């Protein structure tokens, strides 16, 4: 059991036998009345998002989520194939189970696979990844680091905004939590 004061984004809780992942939360202290916590949660089975309200300090069950170290091997069109780094067993994961998180991974990257009752509910990405720019508009003389931004397509298909001075072929460090450009390598 954990208190609502311990809520964090990404934490998985269990309510009435159903696991929910916390997408967003807010502690609210109204001028009149008791404090409460408003949380936006995602059902890990169906993907449905809903908003729930809890009393401040209320206890909820923490869902037991297993983390397995896996290596991303390849995309065969219908599934993504991962390999367990402990027993070398291969696992096929549906495109729907991972969503856009896969765009931060290159072949042979290691991640933590999140499982709830032996069902894959997502992956835990590293804090940052290094990807190469494959498409962006060209830079022009006078473009500076403090100017603006332009869209750039990375080698995995991910599109992010980057400073004007970034060119095709540049290797970039990208923050997976904020989904933003960090620096050029």
> Model confidence over 8-24: pLDDT tens digits?
887 888 888 888 888 88
- Residues 6 or more apart whose Cβ sits within 8 Å of residue 161: 149, 150, 151, 152, 180, 181
pTM score > 0.75 for this model? Answer: no
For the chain, domains (ranges, CATH) are 2-62 (2.30.30.30), 66-124 (2.40.50.140), 128-184 (2.40.50.140)
| Token duo for residue 17 | 């036998």
Question: What sign results for the dihedral spanned by CA atoms 119, 43, 127, 6?
Answer: negative
- In Å, what is the CA distance from 69 to each residue of 16, 93, 131? 29, 14, 21
pLDDT in tens, 71-111: 999 888 888 899 998 999 888 888 777 777 888 888 888 88
Bridge partner residues of 113 (DSSP) = 68, 123
């Amino acid at each position: 059991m954990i208190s609502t004061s311990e809520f964090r984004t990404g934490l998985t809780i269990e309510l009435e036998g159903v696991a929910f992942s916390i997408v967003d939360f807010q502690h609210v202290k109204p001028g009149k009345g008791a404090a409460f916590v408003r949380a936006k949660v995602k059902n890990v089975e169906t993907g449905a998002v809903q908003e729930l309200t809890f009393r401040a300090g209320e206890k909820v069950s923490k869902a037991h989520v297993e983390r397995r170290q896996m290596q991303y091997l390849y995309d065969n069109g219908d599934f993504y194939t991962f390999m367990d780094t402990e027993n070398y067993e291969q696992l096929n994961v549906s495109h729907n189970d991972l969503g856009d998180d896969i765009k931060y991974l290159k072949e042979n990257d290691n991640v933590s696979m999140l499982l709830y009752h032996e069902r894959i509910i997502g992956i835990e990405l590293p804090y940052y990844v290094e990807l190469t720019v494959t498409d962006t508009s060209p830079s022009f003389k006078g473009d500076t680091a403090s100017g603006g931004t332009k869209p750039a397509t990375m080698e995995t298909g991910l599109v992010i905004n980057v400073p004007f001075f970034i060119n095709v072929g540049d290797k970039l460090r990208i923050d997976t939590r904020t989904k933003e450009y960090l620096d050029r390598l």
